[in-house]
Amino acid sequence: MTTQSSLTRPRVTISEVAKAAGVSKATVSRYIGGDRQLLAEATAQRLEAVIQQLGYRPNQMARGLKRGQTRLIGMLVADILNPYSVAVIHGVETACRQHGYSLVLCNTNRDDEQERHHLQALQSYNVEGLIVNTLGHQPGELLDLHRRLPMVLVDRQLADLQVDLVGLDNTDAVEQALDHLQTQGYRDIIAIGEPLDGTSSRHERVQAFTASVQRRASVRGRVLSLDAHLPQTLEQCLANDDHGPQALLTFNGVATLAVTRALQVAGRGLGDDLGLIAIDELDWCSLVGPGITALAQPTERIGAAAFECLLERLRGSEAQPRRLDFKAQLIVRGSTPLPT
Amino acid sequence: MTTQSSLTRPRVTISEVAKAAGVSKATVSRYIGGDRQLLAEATAQRLEAVIQQLGYRPNQMARGLKRGQTRLIGMLVADILNPYSVAVIHGVETACRQHGYSLVLCNTNRDDEQERHHLQALQSYNVEGLIVNTLGHQPGELLDLHRRLPMVLVDRQLADLQVDLVGLDNTDAVEQALDHLQTQGYRDIIAIGEPLDGTSSRHERVQAFTASVQRRASVRGRVLSLDAHLPQTLEQCLANDDHGPQALLTFNGVATLAVTRALQVAGRGLGDDLGLIAIDELDWCSLVGPGITALAQPTERIGAAAFECLLERLRGSEAQPRRLDFKAQLIVRGSTPLPT
DNA sequence: CTGTTAGCGCTTTCAG
DNA sequence: CTGAAAGCGCTAACAG
């Protein structure tokens, strides 16, 4: 029986340790603060024993209050159910731990109201810095926060905000996609993404796509938005196949899922007369149909880079805001064979 | 230009607000503490304006230090890359926000060392309670913490620890799986899960499976562990098909992924001569082959329930530790047709 | 209705 | 090498 009960002792404090060890609070503080060398060997040993025995854990809140640093990093993600976000979180989390920081994670659920709410909460907990995957709808709050806190953006830029940004080299990714498709002989490319809502990465991918298609004389390209009518719209586009072999390019994991489902409903197989290449590698890319060709983002590295970027700022760097673009890695699978 | 700079003003404090508004700190404290009714209307209005204008945000750390409550909940997950965990996190997170709590999330990466580390960190940040998806390898730290903190376990029980547990009704889930498979005419069932490492839910599923098979005269069952040799072991088992139509039962998402990959490598299709039913619904269950029949866990509800359970404890409930078991929901797809 | 006063647990001068 | 004392930002009696 170990039921948690009202008998719960209040936490052991530094004073108790001090008393038990027969020293002053200051001495204990020095010990836990790592100034162990400045203590008499005997004292240090006694302290070690007492702390161990009492099960003392320094109260980070109190330390933070006094020293002005909490060793807490806040992270805001737009959608924790998106595998991309999770992978980035994982990268950030790992880097945090390695540097002695803890992560306070907030999920905005793609909701502006929640974004605002969480931003306030994070601030009130005195996080030392912020890693933000924002919606970008209302820069106000963010701009404001940025004046008080080091911050780095992930994947999504914010207009008017001069901040470090780490993400994918979207232009390159789209270029790789089109190169591959063209090489494979596809001439009619339909790109599909979530509706444009101001998210910079979506914009950039669409831009890059349009520009790149324009540069390719023999290729035709169109852009579709994910919505309730996707299956119909898609079918319509696919019917209009007077320009050569067709292929789909999905701009992220969400689009890939939606498109794959739509194709399934429509009863269209992958790879035979219709190519597909996806931005974002997913667990199941290799499993569905002949396998889906993907452009994998180095998500872990993106996460780690975001943290390191933040760390530099925390250490006082005043350098110009940087933009860290990572290259996507092409993984060729059966969904983009040479069309027959 | 909004570059964060060393000019960063220190945060606005309650004293500054007090001075600016010409009242005492106590009054400001009352205002932000919600005792707004106990203030003169005029004072309240002045305060509102000043706070707004100064951009004042109460320091939760300081409040926590004083009041002994931080409005922080700690959550420990074994593997954030597992979609099950993420879905539960989402449920917890939502519930937290609705009740004014923030979530500090820690991922142990299935590593004992990291579990210990994070547990200490969470404690040092004075989280009010803990939601734990533990490895269960070393109850020591956890047992210890449980004496100081309300805690609820998710999915995995811990021997010797009398704590609330919320998870899946494993017996029922396995029963549903076998019922379905048997109804469909399968007679030789191979169950596959991650290696038994003390994780209670894995144990329970294996136990339930063995017991349930025993009760079914006409059915034969075996259990396999995920490891490097899975493809071979599996092939071997499948060759031994003298007991009637065969089907696979995967015990969780990880197993489903591994098995699906192994089958693909082996060139075996789903549904024709080999059935498959999976515990855990995944994004791609409907997409691969004829679709994978799944037993979906109500993950969001599990997460929400975990938080609510914790909340009761936080409010002082001394009730006997409960076990909340949710039923899995069967989603029939093409991987379990009536065998030919 | 509002101000005064003491701390919460810890760190940090400043003296020994 | 160690202790005393002040104070981080806030709340909670207790007076008025």
Cβ A86–B87 below 8 Å, yes or no?
A: no
Determine the nucleotide nearest to B30 by Cα–C1' distance.
D11
The pLDDT profile of chain A, 340 residues, written as one tens digit per residue, is 344 444 456 789 999 999 999 999 999 999 998 877 888 888 898 999 999 999 899 999 899 998 888 889 999 999 999 999 999 999 999 999 899 898 888 899 998 888 888 898 898 888 999 999 977 777 777 888 888 889 999 998 887 778 899 999 999 999 999 999 999 999 999 999 999 887 889 999 999 999 999 999 999 999 999 998 988 898 888 888 888 899 999 999 999 999 999 999 888 888 778 999 999 999 999 999 999 999 999 999 999 999 999 999 998 888 999 999 999 999 999 999 987 7
Q: Could you give the percent of chain B with pLDDT greater than 70? A: 97
Cα–Cα distance for residue pair A248/A336, rounded to 1 Å: 10
Contacts of A102 in chain B (CB under 8 A): 104, 106, 118, 121-122, 125
Cα–Cα distance for residue pair B270/B292, rounded to 1 Å: 8
- Extract the runs of DSSP E, i.e. beta strands, from A140-182: 151-154, 164-168
Cα–Cα distance for residue pair A124/A74, rounded to 1 Å: 11
Say which of A97, A102, A313 has its CB closest to residue B125. Answer: A102
Condensed to tens digits (0 to 9), the pLDDT of residues B188-214 reads: 999 999 998 878 899 999 999 999 999
How much is the pLDDT for B8? 59
**Residue B58 forms contact with A (CB below 8 Å):** yes
Query: 3-state DSSP: chain B helix, strand, coil percent, rounded to 5?
Result: 45, 15, 40
Distance from CA of B103 to the nearest CA of A (A): 7
Say which of A117, A257, A320 has its CB closest to residue B283. Answer: A257
Mapped onto helix, strand or coil, the DSSP state of residue A224 is strand
Query: Is it the case that residue B9 has pLDDT exceeding 70?
Result: no
Contacts of A4 in chain B (CB under 8 A): 146-147, 149-151, 163, 313
Q: Are strands B188-193 and B220-225 parallel, antiparallel or unpaired?
A: parallel
Pair B280, B296: CB distance under 8 Å: yes
DSSP lists the bridge partners of residue A220 as A188
Token pair 């940004």: residue: A165
Please calculate the CA angle B298-B304-B306 and round it to the nearest 5 degrees: 100
Which of B69, B65, B329 has its CA nearest to residue A13?
B65
Cα–Cα distance for residue pair A305/A307, rounded to 1 Å: 5
Cβ B316–A6 below 8 Å, yes or no?
A: yes
Condensed to tens digits (0 to 9), the pLDDT of residues B21-46 reads: 999 999 999 999 877 788 888 888 89
Q: Are strands B329-331 and B293-296 parallel, antiparallel or unpaired?
A: antiparallel
B 295-314 residues with CB below 8 A of A? 313
A25 touches strand C (CB under 7 A): yes
Using CA atoms of A16, A18, A22, A26 in order, give the dihedral in degrees to the nearest 10.
-160
**Residue A5 forms contact with B (CB below 8 Å):** yes
Q: Are strands A72-77 and A129-132 parallel, antiparallel or unpaired?
A: parallel
**Total beta-carbon pairs less than 8 A apart between chain A and chain B:** 179
Residue at the smallest CA–C1' distance to nucleotide C3: B24
Residue at the smallest CA–C1' distance to nucleotide D8: A66
**Residue A332 forms contact with B (CB below 8 Å):** no
Report CA(A194)–C1'(D11) in Å, whole number.
48
Residue B56 vs residues A44, A144, A145, B25, B32: alpha-carbon distances, Å:
42, 12, 12, 13, 10
